[in-house]
Amino acid sequence: MKVADLYIRVSTDEQAEKGYSQRNQQDILKRYCEINEIKVRNVIYEDHSAKTFERPEWRKLLINIKSKKLQSELLLFTKWDRFSRNASDAYQMISILRRHGVEPQAIEQPLDLNVPENKMMLAVYLTAPEIENDRRALNVKHGLRQAKKEGRWMGAAPAGYVNKSYENGKKYIAISEPQASILKWAFTEVGKDLYTVAEVWRSARRKGLKIKINTFRDALKNVAYMGKILVPANQYEDTYLADGKHEPIITEALFYRIQEIIYNRQKEPDTRGIQIVSRNTLPLRGFLKCPKCERMLTGSASKGRNGYFHYYHCQSSCGPRFKASEVNLAFVKTIRKYMPKPGMSELYRHVVLDIYSDRNQNINEQKNLLKKIETANNRIAKARTLLLSDDIEAADYRLIKREEELNIVKYEAKIVEVNSMKAEKVDVEEILYRALENLKKLDLLYLEGENDEKRKIIGSIFPEKWTYDGIEHRTGQENLGMELIYLLNNKLEHKKTGVKTSKSDYSGQVPSAGVEPARFPTGV
């Protein structure tokens, strides 16, 4: 009497628990063994796909066969698609089984593999399920791509959203609070280019964000947050962005600004943002550059006889090292230059309001953006001409076209933002009043503020890093509004000392219509 093992397979756990396929296969195989007087040694139940032989129960079976622990002569299953849905793997596995004295056989599709002509039928039995799998996978792929083209998010909702279904069964993603608001805040903070991504994530976690840092980094690059869906390329179309049916959490302009910040930080390590430290003794760490090599200065403490002493220093061998107390005191003197002198607040207020009341303040920026769009289109047209004349390869043309089309999208998003800002109604009087009141006591706000508040003040005044030469801070570009106060303060000092000036001396220095008083942070 021959001895056989019965192999029963379904594709999923759900089929194994709720379906009838396993029991049906078992009944058919046992009845076949009874009729043919075959002894059943073992029944193997599998609930994994047959695309490969990397299946838990099959691996155990194969180990037993190779170790000679299994003395069965037959391995029975109902059909060949229960055995495998991959023709090339199946041929190899059949060879291994027969080499160890085990004959695989499908009782509903019996084949004598010793007859050469039967190998042709075996190919049909094995290839048909594989073709069926490939066709099903292709249909699913096409369906997913079409859904994305129509603006639908497919799969689990990203952080800040939740999966929902309409009454007709169609799925969609909706805003999920409070995660969406926290993410919006985090995106905005990254877009300010003041702090590192890791520090923004830690702050967001304290606010209640429930995702890990790697997920947050991925979210910063996920176009879904600006209301778009990424449609992958196929043989007919390149990758492109479709308008999503879901509500965006951030604007397109903010999203592309973040991409530029991330790209610049990867390209230039010194622009990776500011790492917030816990000690209030080193608030300028991350803002100062080395006066010799221009690397970022770090900060640390040295233990002395009477306690710890803090220093700003360069990590390279060039040597600059400054006492933190002296550097911090010099910075307080620096920011006092930007505090309005008595009587100058009203003049500054009038200047800003005059500038803001100019409704054409965004025209220049719009013109520049439109010019950039025209340049990008011209570059695509030039590349197309070079392609037609065989001066460049098709791959180079596609690369240029993809880069410039992305730039055009970014510029168009910026134009939308500029227009929305122009149309937005803001209570400038109230904002300006609060800003001026805070500016009058800027040094106290800085000295009494927590480390995070100090850094907000620093970042709002100086958008770029600067150097300390051991005596004073040599600042680079300043906030335009703070520069205006500085210029007005200087003119007032000249008046007091009897130095003759004219209105034209500083009117030409006043920032143009691009100044926006609403940009002052609320903490300043």
Give per-residue pLDDT as tens, 150-207.
899 988 999 999 999 888 888 899 999 999 999 999 999 898 877 788 889 998 999 9
Q: What percent of the chain stands above pLDDT 90?
A: 19
The confidence score (pLDDT) of residue 465 equals 79
Q: Which range has the worst mean pLDDT, 391-405, 447-461, 471-485, 502-516?
A: 502-516
pLDDT at residue 285, as a whole number: 79
Q: Is the pLDDT of residue 128 over 80?
A: yes
Report whether pLDDT(455) > 50.
yes
The confidence score (pLDDT) of residue 501 equals 41
Vertex 28: Cα angle to 22 and 30 (nearest 5) = 100
Residue-wise pLDDT for 139-149, tens only, equals: 888 888 888 88
- The first and second tokens of residue 316, run together, are 């390279």
- Find out if CATH 3.40.50.1390 is the number for domain 3-137: yes
Of the candidate ranges 59-63, 104-108, 406-410, the one whose mean pLDDT is the lowest: 406-410
Stretch 340-352: mean pLDDT: 73
Q: Is 176 helix (H, G, I), strand (E, B) or coil?
A: coil
In angstroms, the Cα distances linking 406 to 232, 285, 373, 403 are 15, 36, 10, 5
More confident residue, 475 or 486: 475
Instruction: Report pLDDT for 281.
Output: 79
- The yes-or-no verdict on residue 310 having pLDDT over 70 is yes
Most confident listed range (24-38, 230-244, 333-347, 438-452): 24-38
Q: Is the model's pTM score more than 0.85?
A: no
Contact between 106 and 80 under an 8 Å Cβ cutoff? The reply is yes
Q: What are the start-end ranges of the H helices in 150-211?
A: 179-191, 197-207
What is the model's pLDDT at position 467? 85
Residue 55 pLDDT greater than 70, yes or no: yes
Place of tokens 């770029």: 464
pLDDT tops 90 at residue 217: yes
Q: How far apart are CA 261 and CA 267, in angstroms?
A: 10
Minimal CA–CA distance to 197: which of 265, 253, 143?
265
CA dihedral 392, 394, 396, 400 (to 10 degrees): 110
pLDDT level of residue 481 (50, 70, 90 thresholds): low
Closest CA to 477 of 511, 434, 500: 511
pLDDT at residue 499 greater than cutoff 50: no
Residue 514 has a pLDDT of: 37
Q: What is the pLDDT of residue 279?
A: 56
Beta-carbon count within 10 A of 358 CB: 12
Res 509 pLDDT > 50: no
Cβ neighbours of residue 226 under 8 Å, at least 6 residues apart? 248, 249, 250, 251, 252, 254, 255
Lowest mean pLDDT among 121-130, 238-247, 459-468: 459-468
pLDDT digits (tens, 9 = 90+) for 369-398: 888 888 888 888 888 888 888 888 888 888
pLDDT at 507: 38
pLDDT score, position 521: 40
Q: Can you tell me the distance from the alpha carbon of 275 to that of 198, in angstroms, rounded to the nearest whole number?
A: 8
**At residue 17, does pLDDT exceed 70?**
no
DSSP readout, 56-112?
Answer: HHHHHHHHHHHTT----SEEEESSHHHH-S-HHHHHHHHHHHHHTT-EEEETTS---
Examine the pLDDT at 343 and tell me if it is beyond 80: no
Whether 239 contacts 231, CB under 8 Å: yes
Of all residues in the chain, what percent carry a pLDDT higher than 70? 81
Residue 487 has a pLDDT of 63
Residue 316 confidence (pLDDT) above 50: yes
Q: Cα dist. 368→22, 131, 284 in Å?
A: 69, 55, 35
Is the pLDDT confidence value at 503 over 50? no
pLDDT tens per residue across span 27-51:
999 999 999 999 998 899 998 888 8
pLDDT confidence of residue 32: 93
Residue with tokens 């709002």: 460
pLDDT at position 237 is 78
* Residue 452 token pair: 């995070």
Four-way CATH pick for 175-271: 3.90.1750.20, 3.30.1280.10, 3.30.460.10, 3.10.180.10? 3.90.1750.20
Work out the pLDDT band at 19, boundaries 50, 70, 90. Answer: low
State the chain's mean pLDDT as an integer. 79
Structure-block tokens of residue 476? 């680079």
> What is the C-alpha separation between 311 and 147, in angstroms, rounded?
58
For position 520, what pLDDT does the model report?
37
Q: Model confidence at 269, in pLDDT bands (50, 70, 90)?
A: low
Q: How confident is the model at residue 52 (pLDDT cuts 50, 70, 90)?
A: confident
Strands 228-231 and 240-243: what pairing?
Answer: antiparallel
User: Which backbone phi and psi does 126 adopt, to 5 degrees?
Assistant: -80, -35
Confidence at residue 421, expressed as pLDDT on a 0 to 100 scale: 59
